[in-house]
């Protein structure tokens, strides 16, 4: 189909964005976003690679992998790009500590970083090529996601599982130099792979950890299928039976194509780096109750007003919010995470490892669940309307003396409006990567990520992750 016959649509705008983007268009803030994203994501891929479910995924993948030039992070194993990205994306998303994008309520980093590095290694490409692919994948993923928010999350879909297919297809198409028509079909085929719900927040299941790997692999396969000549529907997003009307039961905004105009802001400027190892919907509440820490022992009740979108995942609609039985339940329980904070346990890497090791007791009459039961959650849908694209916290504490204190947090720590400092980001990288690499190797790897020499090969960077 000739270019001049392609309909003017959101789908066309996306295909043209992917094929015409070059690094000269990057703003300084966007380039900084890429570096911060890579630092956070690669540290997590290394540090989380030894978690039990990650080891299971790696064994599963290796049993059926194909030979190749792409590295499974934190190892010397080289496999096909699809196999490496499947494992690495799982590593990066495996412990609720990875980056987030507020407006699309999703986690683009594990998908786009894993895809870009694996395909670049396969092709012998440079880190400049990796950066271009990361940006393209991130922007396609998040902008499609912004147009679907908050409905996608409210309806019970896991936005990352759904959107990662598009991000991986776009990043792969960019690195492989696919033309606009083939890229269009790659993204359309990716839509046929989009799936995944948030039932894990209630019923558990380690497959949630693999959602990123599944979506990433399927998006890459979609690009391969398009390269082989397989085609998809042209109106895969906007058609009467396309993505938006089917997944969300509504049409997309009339001006949707403007999200991919050359003047549109880069979403990668808004990378949210998580300081807490739990669902991003909870972070503002952790920041809020920290402001009550000097009177934590005097609190008799906490009333939480919560957005409808967040309540679906971490609040009253999460059946195990007050009685978690698995690590997934713990990381998606607003009351339990607030109790961790109030009791001085923190919400980071060590407390969650402690739960896995049986050192954190969540028995019904224990202090953690007793504290959790002081928390009343009330859905307040007007907060979604007043603060679109954000997860805010509205907390009122009542004390023994009858007084009360109201705390509201609009921008949690780690968001672009309230950013994590570079020093704290470096500390996060070092803490988690040190679970696998020695101190010298951690420092060398971190230095290379921060320098991000565009002329260097992708393989030279990933090799530094091997112990």
Task: Domains for the chain: give ranges and CATH numbers.
Answer: 3-270 (1.10.4100.10), 280-409 (3.30.1330.120)
Name the residue among 61, 85, 62 with its Cα closest to residue 73: 85
Q: Look at residue 395 and give its three-state secondary structure.
A: strand
**pLDDT tens digits for 2-38?**
343 444 799 999 999 999 999 999 999 999 999 999 9
Per DSSP bridges, beta strands 375-379 and 299-306 are parallel
Q: What is the mean pLDDT of residues 446-453?
A: 98
Distances (CA, A) of 169 to 102, 177, 178, 187, 287: 22, 12, 11, 6, 36
pLDDT above 90 for 88:
yes
Q: Interior CA angle at 55 toward 61 and 442, to 5°?
A: 110
Q: Which of 43-47, 99-103, 191-195, 318-322 has the lowest mean pLDDT?
A: 318-322
What pLDDT sits at residue 1? 38
Name the residue among 276, 322, 285, 321 with its Cα closest to residue 306: 285
Q: Look at residue 457 and give its three-state secondary structure.
A: strand
Burial 127-156 (b: 16+ CB within 10 A, else e): bbbbbbbbbbbbbbbbbbbbbbbbebbbee
Name the residue among 174, 100, 96 with its Cα closest to residue 140: 174
Contact 154, 309 (CB under 8 A): yes
Q: What percent of the chain has pLDDT over 70?
A: 99
Between helices 108-123 and 28-47, what is the axis angle to 10°?
90
Q: What is the mean pLDDT of the chain?
A: 96
Q: What is the mean pLDDT of residues 111-116?
A: 98
Ramachandran region, residue 436 (left: φ > 0; alpha: ψ -120 to 50; beta: rest): alpha
pLDDT above 50 for 335:
yes
Global confidence as pTM:
0.96
Contact 199, 318 (CB under 8 A): no
Name the residue among 289, 277, 322 with its Cα closest to residue 396: 289
Give kind and range of the element (H or E) at residue 409: strand 404-409
Between helices 127-146 and 10-20, what is the axis angle to 10°?
160
Name the residue among 84, 45, 44, 91 with its Cα closest to residue 62: 84
């Amino acid at each position: 189909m000739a270019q001049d016959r392609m309909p003017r649509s959101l789908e066309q705008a996306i295909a043209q964005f992917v094929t015409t983007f070059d690094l000269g268009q990057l703003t300084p803030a966007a380039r900084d976003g890429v570096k911060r994203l890579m630092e956070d994501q690669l540290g997590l891929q290394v540090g989380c690679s030894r978690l039990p479910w990650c080891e299971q995924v790696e064994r599963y993948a290796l049993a059926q992998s194909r030979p190749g030039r792409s590295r499974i992070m934190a190892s010397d194993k080289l496999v096909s790009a699809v196999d490496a990205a499947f494992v690495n994306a799982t590593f990066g998303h495996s412990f609720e500590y990875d980056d987030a994008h507020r407006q699309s309520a999703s986690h683009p980093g594990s998908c786009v970083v894993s895809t870009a590095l694996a395909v670049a290694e396969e092709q012998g490409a440079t880190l400049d090529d990796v950066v271009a692919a990361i940006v393209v994948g991130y922007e396609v993923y998040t902008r499609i996601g912004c147009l679907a928010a908050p409905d996608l999350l409210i309806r019970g879909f896991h936005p990352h599982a759904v959107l990662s297919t598009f991000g991986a297809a776009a990043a792969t198409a960019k690195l492989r130099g696919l033309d606009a028509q083939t890229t269009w079909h790659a993204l359309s085929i990716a839509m046929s792979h989009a799936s995944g719900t948030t039932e894990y927040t209630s019923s558990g299941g380690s497959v949630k950890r693999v959602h990123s790997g599944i979506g990433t692999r399927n998006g890459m396969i979609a690009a391969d299928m398009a390269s082989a000549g397989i085609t998809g529907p042209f109106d895969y997003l906007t058609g009467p039976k396309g993505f938006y009307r089917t997944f969300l039961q509504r049409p997309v905004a009339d001006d949707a194509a403007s999200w991919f105009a050359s003047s549109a802001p880069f979403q990668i400027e808004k990378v949210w780096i998580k300081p807490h190892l739990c669902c991003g919907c909870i972070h503002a509440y952790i920041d809020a109750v920290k402001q009550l820490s000097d009177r934590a022992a005097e609190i008799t009740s906490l009333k939480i007003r919560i957005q409808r979108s967040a309540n679906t995942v971490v609040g009253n609609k999460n059946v195990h919010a007050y009685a978690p039985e698995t690590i997934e339940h713990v990381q998606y329980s607003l009351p339990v995470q607030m109790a961790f904070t109030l009791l001085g346990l923190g919400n980071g890497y060590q407390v969650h490892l402690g739960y896995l090791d049986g050192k954190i007791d969540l028995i019904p009459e224990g202090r953690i669940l007793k504290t959790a039961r002081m928390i009343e959650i009330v859905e307040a849908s007007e907060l979604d309307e007043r603060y679109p694209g954000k997860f805010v916290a509205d907390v009122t504490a009542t004390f023994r003396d009858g007084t009360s204190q109201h705390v509201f947090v609009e921008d949690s720590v780690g968001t672009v409006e309230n950013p994590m400092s570079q020093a704290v980001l470096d500390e996060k990288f070092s803490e988690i990567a040190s679970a696998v690499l020695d101190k010298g190797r951690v420092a060398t790897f971190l230095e290379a990520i921060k320098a991000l020499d565009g002329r260097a090969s992708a393989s030279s960077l990933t090799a530094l992750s091997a112990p």
